[in-house]
Structure formats: structure tokens, C-alpha cells
Amino acid sequence: MKEYKWATLGCGVIANQLAQALAANGRKLYSVANRTHEKAVAFAEKYGIAKVYDQIDDVFSDEDVDIIYISTPHNTHISYLRKALRAGKHVLCEKSITLNAEELEEAVRLAEEHHVVLAEAMTIFHMPIYKELRSRMDAGEFGELRLLQMNFGSYKEYDMKNRFFNRNLAGGALLDIGVYALSFLRWFMSSKPDQILSQVKYAPTGVDEQASILLKNKEEEMATVILSLHAKQPKRGTISFDKAYIELFEYPRGEEAIITYTEDGHKEVVSAGSTDRALEYEVADMEVAVAGEENRMHLDYTIDVMDMMTSIRKDWGMTYPEEEH
């Protein structure tokens, strides 16, 4: 397989992890684009990246760039996606991939028109533990899927200017951490939930600080999700089947699961992959998709999750400034 040239659009925490993931395989990012040029220069120096763009949009016209990783705030994604996809670039975009289903629909259409791979950087779809559990589930080892319970709670300081609570940066629990819980559900559930009930508690800025969500699909598999940005919870996912239940902790980049069997209560610990290598797995799957060998990016699940989040926010009547026109 050819060695693809990656550009990063953004140079925050995730961009650092991307540079480190490539470095772990003896590679470097080809280029860096960022709104603040000085930060891009410092980032390039740190990782030995040869090319820094004077203007952020120059990355789209660079013919040598194969894949762009977008890791800017959620609300900026669609404008960058439009430019990247129209320029014929493959794109791996940080979650949440867009603000809403309408934006994602447009991006998917552009990717199809320009024959490029579009994907959301959702770790759950690439960590080996999920692939292993899914294949064992599909083989019928655990019996019928019945219930899923998801927790994700962070304790973020009540600073209404930080991105978690800032309406102008598409803050709120659902788009920031709920996307993980819903992606986890979608990975294991037979189909997208078509019945959804929810409650929300707002932060002073008007974004969702806490949410509880009940979901059920046509197969009558049920799920609950509890999210919080100002109350710590374990990052825990529990999947209950006829013959066993499975617990995953730190699930966004999970590497271990505990299976408890119903019949005799015995436990099995399953380990696969490594939390530290999360971005390496994403990069590898993306490159296989770009090469046309096999698409394991699960854009179909990304679309289902975005549909759910959009429907939930519609029920709440919660919008972002970009949606109010």
C-alpha cells in the first residue's frame, strides 16, 4: 500500500495524538494548517513537519495531500468538509462530525460526488476490543441482545467560556460525549433505535449540561444513556444478553471487557488492543479504506448516530447559532 500524505487541520490535543500515532509507525504528518499561524509553526517544529500553510485554506489546494484530519471545534467542521471534499481530499473528521443530520447529509453527498472517503474519527469503531466482542456476539456466544446501559460523566469547571459550555463552540454533553455512548449502542444494536425519549438539564449558557435518554429499536433491544458535564461518572458500558452481560470501562478507547455468564456467574476477562494506540487503529482503517481495499469506517453508523442526536435536540428545542437562520 502506498504511503499516504496526511495533513492536519487544527493542532490541539487530537492533532498531537495523530502526529504521535504516525511517529509510532516511523512516519510524519506531511503538513499542518491552523487558524493561528504561529501555533501551526510551533506544532510543525515539535513534530518535524516540513510544510506549514500561510493560510488555512491552502491545505485544500495542495495537490500532494491525500488525507486531511479535521480536529477543529464541531461548529467549524461543515465549512472545512465542504472545501476538502470539493477539492477531492479524503477526510477523517473529529467527532462530532457535523452539528446535525442535514449538514452530514450534505457532506456525504459531496464525498460521493467526488469519489472520496469521508469518515468520523470514532475510536469505538476501530478499537480491537469492539471488533472482537462484535464477532463473538454475531457468532451467538452470548445469546440474544436485550439491554444496554451507558454512563459518561465529566466534571468540567463552571467556566461558561470554555468549549464544553460555550454555545458558540457547539458545547454541550450530547455532541461532545453523548456521541460516544450512542456510537457504542449502535455498534452492538441490530438496527438504529426508532423510539427515543429524553430529558435535559441546561447549563447557564443554554447548552445541555446533563441528559438522560431512553432508546428502543424495532428488534425491541433497549438502552439507557446518562450524560453529565458537571458530575463525574464512570465511563461504563454494560451490554446484557440472555446468556451473559458484558462490562466495558473507559469505553471510548476501551481495551478490556469483563463477561459475566448468567448460568453460573463465572467471569471472563477479555483484552484486545491498547488504549494508547487508539489513533493508530483509526489511521490504519482509514488508509485501507482510501486504498479501496475494504471500508471499515462505518459511516452508516455515524449517520445513524447523527440522526439520533439531531432528533433528540429537536425534541428539546435546543439549537446552535449556526442553525438559527
In the chain, ranges of CATH 3.30.360.10 domains? 125-280+304-323
β-bridge partners, 246: 239, 259
Instruction: Specify the pLDDT at position 232.
Output: 97
pLDDT at 83: 98
Please give the grid coordinates belonging to residue 116. 472520496
> Which stretches of 37-176 are assigned E, i.e. beta strand?
51-52, 67-70, 90-94, 118-121, 145-155
| Strand 244-249 versus strand 230-241 pairing type | antiparallel
Beta strands in the chain (DSSP E): 6-9, 31-33, 51-52, 67-70, 90-94, 118-121, 145-155, 195-202, 208-216, 222-228, 230-241, 244-249, 256-261, 267-271
Using CB atoms within 10 Å of the CB of residue 124, give its burial: 0 to 12 exposed, 13 to 18 middle, 19+ buried.
Answer: buried
At 18-66, the pLDDT tens digits run 999 999 999 999 999 999 999 999 999 999 999 999 999 999 999 999 9
What is the phi/psi pair of residue 314, to 5°? -65, -40
pLDDT tens per residue across span 162-201: 999 999 999 999 999 999 999 999 999 999 999 999 999 9
Mean pLDDT computed over every residue of the chain: 97
Reply yes or no on whether the pLDDT at 325 is more than 80: no
Q: Which of 95, 156, 192, 235 is catalytic?
A: 95
pLDDT (0 to 100) of residue 33: 98
Give the pLDDT score at 168.
Answer: 95
User: 190-239: per-residue pLDDT in tens?
Assistant: 999 999 999 999 999 999 999 999 999 999 999 999 999 999 999 999 99
CATH number of 125-280+304-323: 3.30.360.10
pLDDT tens by residue, 121-146: 999 999 999 999 999 999 999 999 99
pLDDT, average across residues 301-323: 98
pTM value surpassing 0.85: yes
Active site residue 95: yes
Q: What is the CATH number of domain 6-122?
A: 3.40.50.720
pLDDT for the residue numbered 138: 98
Residue 1 pLDDT: 82
Residues of the chain with CATH 3.40.50.720: 6-122
Residue 254's pLDDT is 97
Choose among 321, 314, 98: nearest CA to 200. 314
pLDDT at position 75? 94
